[in-house]
Structure 1
Amino acid sequence: MIQKVVLWFFIIVFLYFTGVQYNDPDPYVWIPTYLIPVFLCYYKLQGKGEKVMYFTVGLLFLMWAINQFPPAWEGVLLNQLGMKTLNIELGRESLGLGCCTIAMWVCAALKN
């Protein structure tokens, strides 16, 4: 039961992440990126998928998150003027990819 709750939580979170990408400058990158964990968590709900697949996808997300990490950390919130800097945008993207990593590794740890 807890496994299903966790997986549905991830599905809802990543559907939300997908939904807020519509006004991003590059939604064609981030919408599919966040739909991957949605699909794979649903796949896990069906009792499918090997642990190595989820671990590998999580590792790919982790490497991408490290690559996206900003050169200077400015947080993930808007600054005083309400404008985003490149470092804030990169920080948000890195954080989102980190969430994808965690979700995939949780899926790898769960039983089929």
Structure 2
Amino acid sequence: MKILNIFLAIIFILFAVVQFNDPDPYFWVAIYGAVAAVSVFAIRQKYNRPFLIFLMVICVVGSIYYFPGLIELFSDHEIGDIAKSMKAEKPFIEKSRESLGLMMAFVVVFFQYSQAVKQKKHLSS
């Protein structure tokens, strides 16, 4: 698990770094930075379950907020359009990326939460 957590921490640090040129960097750097931090703490098996729950809620709510862009991508465009450059007349590209980014963040935080639950069960038995 340690290697996986190191990998996740590095990936989400990189995700946070590339957000600095985004129009709304504060939100994305905070989210991806928080996921990276959770992964760093998980390396030492340190978990804050209330914070993990809070982060999962933020990721789910945010992903739902941006989800219409993902629906538009899949229903009206080619899946490869997600890799094209952003244009003002194609906001679905950015919304799709943001929804998927929050989904990935949720998966990682959910994984960390499940590890925290396993750790608590192991310690209490």
TM-score range, shorter chain: 0.7 to 0.9
Give the superposition deviation at 1:67.
1.1
2:20 pairs with 19, 22, 27, which one? 22
Determine which structure has more spread, i.e. the larger CA radius of gyration: 2
TM normalised by structure 2 equals 0.74
Higher helix proportion (structure 1 or 2): 2
**CA RMSD, Structure 1 to Structure 2 (Å):** 2.0
Answer yes or no: is the 8 Å Cα contact 1:4–1:45 preserved in 2. Answer: yes
Is 2:96 aligned against 1:91?
yes
Structure 2: unaligned runs, 5 residues or longer: 120-125
Aligned to 2:109: 104
Unmatched tracts of structure 1, length 5 or more: none
Structure 2 CA distance, aligned partners of 1:99 and 1:11? 13
The structural deviation recorded for 1:51 is 4.5
Q: Which has the higher contact order (CA 8 A, sep 6+)?
A: 1
Confirm or deny: 8 A CA contact 1:58 1:105 kept in the other structure: yes
Number of aligned residue pairs: give it.
Answer: 107
Q: What is the CA–CA distance in structure 1 between the aligned matches of 2:17 and 2:4, rounded to whole Å?
A: 20
